[in-house]
Chains A and B, each alone.
Chain A
Amino acid sequence: MLELKNITAGYGHFTALWDVQLRVARGEAVAVVGPNGAGKTTLMRVISGLIPSRAGELVFEGESLAGRPAHDIVAHGIAHVPEGRRIFPALTVGDNLRMGAFLPAARQAFPESSARVYDLFPALAERQRQRAGSLSGGEQQMLAIGRALMSRPKLILLDEPSMGLAPVMVLRLFDLIRRIREEGYTILVVEQNVRQVLKLVDRAYLLEVGRIKMEGRAHELAEQDFVRKAYVGL
């Protein structure tokens, strides 16, 4: 479904990703793990078009998306839940979801999409008219995911969904992501919480200083010293 071939990218003179190869098949859940500063967020931003890649191929469902702007990539069916949630704090919860369905096709399907999101996250339904900035961290993360679902994507990119959440909340969040998975969405997730995320995904990549260092099935990797590596970053 998604294939990255020899992707190189960075900011200014700094190169954050070198020759990255990555593949996500339809219906799969894939994790990218690695220490801080490994380039995980850059990778997500390249896929969603927020930063251009310098070299390499980015193919989604047989179509090359390299060099397309972010708003165009969403229209192709990739939704990005950015690091730090990035909800619109001064807008109501309902308006945040409305913005998620900005694309014309998504806007038409607004009633059913929003019903489904409220079904997944009942807490959001209660707070529809509340300003999004007044929600708790966990609720904000749910809103960010719900907002991404509103565009009716095929692939969801989740960047550090558990960041800054209380441990209890993290468990609940992973449960919810599992439910979204079961609904048939394809997921690519970047996480610091390696132990948890390996229980959730099928496969995982280890990214270190901008390069893919290891790749494998989640349950195999969980048994290797992969986890330790991801944490310590050796």
Chain B
Amino acid sequence: MIDPIFLAEAAINGLLLGGVLALLALGLNLIFGVIDIVWIAYVDLVMLAMYAVYFLVMVYGWPIWLAGLAAIGVGALLGIGVHVLIISPILGSAPVNQLLATGGLLFFLQSFATFLWTTDHRSVRLALPVLEVAGIFVSFARLIAFVIAILAMIGLYLFLTRTYIGTAIRAVAQDREAMALMGADPRRVYLVTSAVGGAMAGLAAALLSIQYSVHPYFGAAFGPITFMICVLGGLGNMVGAFVASFIMSEIISIGGVTWSTEMGYVIAFALFIVMMFVRPGGILTKRE
């Protein structure tokens, strides 16, 4: 029998991890909802931005918060770059090719990072305390990351509901052609969406780099779980992705302490596969 304190700790860690995963899932989902393409290489952009944070802090001596802000900018630029260089030439291609093009990008980024920076694990060394509440240990870094992630998601929500361009982004996701008839240039909306999605990847990178070390295969480690969350929540469904993030992160975390880290993931993925069959449209949709 596992100590209930361990379980409580795992549940809290799962919740905190869920916040950052949700940020990633929302970014990917936003792009899919508007442009209709899954960026298989999305989490590899996070990896690049994490390297940016690492080098800015460890080599150039920037304070972490400034490096984090820079990572958001790096992410936005990467998002724009991916859209302009890879996505826009193949917007009209078969979905298979779109999927494979961003998959090829994943391959490229992973190997290029290996080439440039080797497979060493690098981490930003920060002296952040560990908090103890009623015998439960909680990492302060995780808590901060969670809070910032939640604030960022509130910001995203306000952006999408309160601003003109944000509302236009939601409108394009519902009916691309009708929005063109309103005078919105779809290419511009795509570009803004890619930049916002990229910026979210950049922010996630900043939040992840205070908890994990970065290596070229970071994308491969966090990518699959992000896709699973998006599909589980329903591709393009923001609320669904938010809820699914916490379900998955709790399973991984609690499964991890109960059995092993890998088993936690196995259970999460197995649940995902089963859920796909039970509710192909995502957890929040009703069955036909």
Q: How far is the CB of B188 from chain A (nearest CB, A)?
A: 9
Residue of A nearest to B181 (CB): A80
- Find out whether the CB atom of B183 lies under 8 angstroms from the CB atom of A71: yes
Q: Is A216 close to B, CB under 8 A?
A: no
- The listed residue (A50, A69, A102) touching B182 by CB distance below 8 A is A102
Q: Provided the pairs A91-B167, A91-B170, A91-B171 are in contact, do residues A102 and B178 lie with their beta carbons within 8 angstroms?
A: no
Residues of the B chain whose Cβ atoms lie less than 8 Å from the Cβ of A80: 181
Residues of the B chain whose Cβ atoms lie less than 8 Å from the Cβ of A102: 164, 168, 179, 182-184
Contact size class for A? 20 to 34
- Find out whether the CB atom of A82 lies under 8 angstroms from the CB atom of B167: no
Q: Provided the pairs A86-B175, A98-B164, A107-B164 are in contact, do residues A70 and B181 lie with their beta carbons within 8 angstroms?
A: yes
Max chain A C-beta neighbours (<10 A), residue from B171, B177, B182, B186:
B182
Q: Is B180 close to A, CB under 8 A?
A: yes
Contact with A along B157-197 (1 / 0, CB 8 A): 00000001001101100110111111111100000000000
Taken together as a complex, chains A and B put the C-alpha atoms of A45 and B66 apart, in Å, by 50
Contact size class for B? 10 to 19
Taken together as a complex, chains A and B put the C-alpha atoms of A194 and B120 apart, in Å, by 74
Taken together as a complex, chains A and B put the C-alpha atoms of A79 and B180 apart, in Å, by 11
Q: Provided the pairs A88-B171, A90-B170 are in contact, do residues A71 and B186 lie with their beta carbons within 8 angstroms?
A: yes
Residues of the A chain whose Cβ atoms lie less than 8 Å from the Cβ of B183: 71, 74-75, 102-103, 106, 151
- Find out whether the CB atom of A89 lies under 8 angstroms from the CB atom of B181: no
Residues of the B chain whose Cβ atoms lie less than 8 Å from the Cβ of A203: none
- Find out whether the CB atom of B180 lies under 8 angstroms from the CB atom of A99: no
Residues of the A chain whose Cβ atoms lie less than 8 Å from the Cβ of B185: 69, 71
Q: Is A147 close to B, CB under 8 A?
A: yes
Residues of the A chain whose Cβ atoms lie less than 8 Å from the Cβ of B175: 86, 88
Q: Provided the pairs A48-B181, A70-B181, A102-B168 are in contact, do residues A88 and B186 lie with their beta carbons within 8 angstroms?
A: no
- Find out whether the CB atom of B181 lies under 8 angstroms from the CB atom of A95: no
- Find out whether the CB atom of A99 lies under 8 angstroms from the CB atom of B171: yes
- Find out whether the CB atom of A88 lies under 8 angstroms from the CB atom of B184: no
- Find out whether the CB atom of B171 lies under 8 angstroms from the CB atom of A82: no
- Find out whether the CB atom of A89 lies under 8 angstroms from the CB atom of B174: yes
Residues of the B chain whose Cβ atoms lie less than 8 Å from the Cβ of A103: 182-183
- The listed residue (A50, A99, A106) touching B167 by CB distance below 8 A is A99
Q: How far is the CB of A105 from chain B (nearest CB, A)?
A: 10
Taken together as a complex, chains A and B put the C-alpha atoms of A82 and B180 apart, in Å, by 12
- Find out whether the CB atom of B182 lies under 8 angstroms from the CB atom of A147: yes
Q: Is A100 close to B, CB under 8 A?
A: yes
Residues of the B chain whose Cβ atoms lie less than 8 Å from the Cβ of A107: 164
- Find out whether the CB atom of A82 lies under 8 angstroms from the CB atom of B174: no
- Find out whether the CB atom of B170 lies under 8 angstroms from the CB atom of A100: no
Taken together as a complex, chains A and B put the C-alpha atoms of A113 and B171 apart, in Å, by 20
Within 8 A of B (CB), among A165-201: none
Q: How far is the CB of B274 from chain A (nearest CB, A)?
A: 28
Max chain A C-beta neighbours (<10 A), residue from B168, B174, B179, B181:
B181
Within 8 A of B (CB), among A95-148: 95, 98-100, 102-103, 106-107, 147-148
Within 8 A of B (CB), among A59-84: 69-71, 74-75, 79-80, 82
Taken together as a complex, chains A and B put the C-alpha atoms of A147 and B177 apart, in Å, by 14
Q: How far is the CB of B34 from chain A (nearest CB, A)?
A: 13
Residues of the B chain whose Cβ atoms lie less than 8 Å from the Cβ of A87: 178
Within 8 A of A (CB), among B177-221: 177-186
Q: Provided the pairs A95-B167, A98-B164, A107-B164 are in contact, do residues A151 and B182 lie with their beta carbons within 8 angstroms?
A: yes
Taken together as a complex, chains A and B put the C-alpha atoms of A71 and B180 apart, in Å, by 5
Taken together as a complex, chains A and B put the C-alpha atoms of A151 and B178 apart, in Å, by 13
Residues of the B chain whose Cβ atoms lie less than 8 Å from the Cβ of A148: 181
Starting from the known contacts A71-B180, A91-B167, 20 additional A-B residue pairs (CB-CB under 8 Å) come to A70-B181, A71-B182, A71-B183, A71-B184, A71-B185, A89-B174, A90-B174, A95-B167, A95-B171, A98-B164, A99-B182, A99-B184, A100-B182, A102-B168, A102-B179, A103-B182, A103-B183, A106-B183, A107-B164, A148-B181
B interface list, Cβ under 8 A from A: 164, 167-168, 170-171, 174-175, 177-186
Could you list 19 A-B pairs, sorted by A, with CB under 8 Å? A50-B177, A69-B180, A71-B180, A71-B182, A71-B185, A74-B182, A74-B183, A75-B183, A80-B181, A82-B177, A86-B177, A87-B178, A88-B171, A88-B174, A88-B178, A99-B167, A99-B182, A100-B182, A103-B183
Which 10 A-B pairs have CB atoms at the shortest separation, nearest pair first?
A: A74-B183, A86-B178, A70-B180, A103-B183, A102-B182, A71-B185, A88-B171, A102-B183, A88-B174, A102-B184
